[in-house]
Amino acid sequence: MLNKKTVDDLTGLQGKKVLVRCDFNVPLKEGVIQNYNRIDGAIPTIKKLLDQGAKVILCSHLGKPKGEPLPELSLAPVAPALSERLGVEVKFVDDPKVTGPETQKVAAELKDGEVLLLQNTRYRIEETKYGKDENAEGYAKELADLCDGIFVNDAFGTAHRAHCSNVGVTKYTNTNVVGYLMEKEIKFLGQAVENPVRPFVAILGGAKVSDKINVINNLLDKVDTLIIGGGMAYTFEKAQGEEIGNSLCEEDKLDYALEMIKKAEEKGVKLLLPVDHVEGKEFSNDTERKVVDVIDAGWSGFDIGPKTIALYKAALEGAKTVVWNGPMGVFEFSNFAEGTLEVCRAVADLQDATTVIGGGDSVNAVKRLGFADKMTHISTGGGASLEFLEGKELPGVAAADNK
């Protein structure tokens, strides 16, 4: 998956129409964009194409309209934001069919260095049905027909899904490459997992073991140390006969947890679990709280305790590759954020290490706690980065041409 052609491999773009799949799935509130990270992330690839005289056609989904042209999920607000950042007017056609006659006309009349943004690709029900519905084939071809056979995929966030606008379209274009954002994701996630500089430490948190079953299994074949925190840790604790009170636990995953502990022993991997906890009475920031070695009956573990923080920080010392997915506790509550904060700080303070943060909650934690600029790479794809860590092939990456 690491050996893909990129936007830098494209030549002779003067006057050519290029279709670019971006990730403009931005948070909107009453039509106002709340966070511009994904738009900003797409700019380098778009500018590269414009600098070479291309006519650029951008497409993306937004939310889940499920084939309905919902006004609140229109990509209209993205066009002015792009215009401002590119210094070029970005044309937009509010076309419920996405690839209808008016869109085709505007695309055909684009001049060198002009940009067109298509309406939400998911306004068409076929978008998410590629490979399952023969009509989807037609939609993929309609998207491809807008350009001159050149497709750039820069949307890592949807790379784990085979949709019309990221995979289907490649059947009808001659040249398929990845953009700068996608290239960066493949490089950092791929290198970290497939060719890590050691010691390699993975940190997994979050609520459920079931969300990370394949990730744990795959990483145990690759890491030197696996640190587990968050709600998922209590399933491991209970599997070993520990008292966990009312803490989160997946009863049907107890055997799996024991299997993973055994696998770690057989592989010589250090698998670290919490040795103390910050427990609370109720799921609230203001609830009664205390630090304990064993969770009390009627209480729940909401964060790792100080001994665990020290244990995890010691395990991170000297690490050269770190992959982190999932917080250590209920970090949204300030009274239960200490574990996530301290682990975050320890990762940020590492010298000469590649640190890769993947998954929505860990990314939010790193940004909220102010450590984003200290990390080597923050992944833009929650589900995609998880599936990458599971060792799965991502359809959106696989569809690009090999070098």
Neighbours of 239 (CB within 10 A): 22
Token pair for residue 290? 């205390």
Helix (H, G, I), strand (E, B) or coil at 377: strand
**Other CB atoms within 10 A of residue 323 CB:** 31
DSSP string for 337-349: -HHHHHHHHHHHT
DSSP class per residue in 306-325: HHHHHHHHHHHTT-SEEEEE
Helix ranges restricted to H, 164-221? 180-194, 213-219
SS3 47: helix
**Any idea what the Cα angle at residue 99 is, between residues 18 and 30, rounded to 5°?**
100
Marked catalytic residue, from 63, 138, 360, 382: 360
- Amino acid at the residue 255: D
Pairing of β 200-204 and β 225-228: parallel
Q: How far apart are the C-alpha atoms of 380 and 306, rounded to whole Å?
A: 31
Beta strands in 165-229 (DSSP E): 175-178, 200-204, 225-228
Q: Has 222 been annotated as catalytic?
A: no
Catalytic residue among 97, 383, 391, 392: 383
The rounded distance, in Å, linking the Cα atoms of 185 and 336 is: 31
Q: By CB neighbour count within 10 A (0-12 exposed, 13-18 middle, 19+ buried), where does 168 fall?
A: buried
Tell me, yes or no, if 91 is annotated catalytic.
no
Structural contact between residues 377 and 186, judged by C-beta atoms closer than 8 angstroms: no
Active-site choice (38, 55, 124, 161): 38
Give catalytic status of residue 208 as yes or no.
yes
- Cα(186)–Cα(192) distance, integer angstroms: 10
**Cβ(19)–Cβ(143) below 8 Å:** yes
Please give the Cα distance from 235 to 242 (Å, whole number): 10
Within 13 Å and on the Cβ side, how many CA atoms surround 303? 26
94: three-class secondary structure by DSSP: coil
- Would you call 41 a catalytic residue per the annotation? no
Of residues 5, 208, 345, 368, which has the active-site annotation? 208
Residue 321 CA to residue 67 CA, distance in Å, equals 42
* DSSP reduced 3-state for 393: coil
Residues identified as active-site: 38, 208, 360, 383
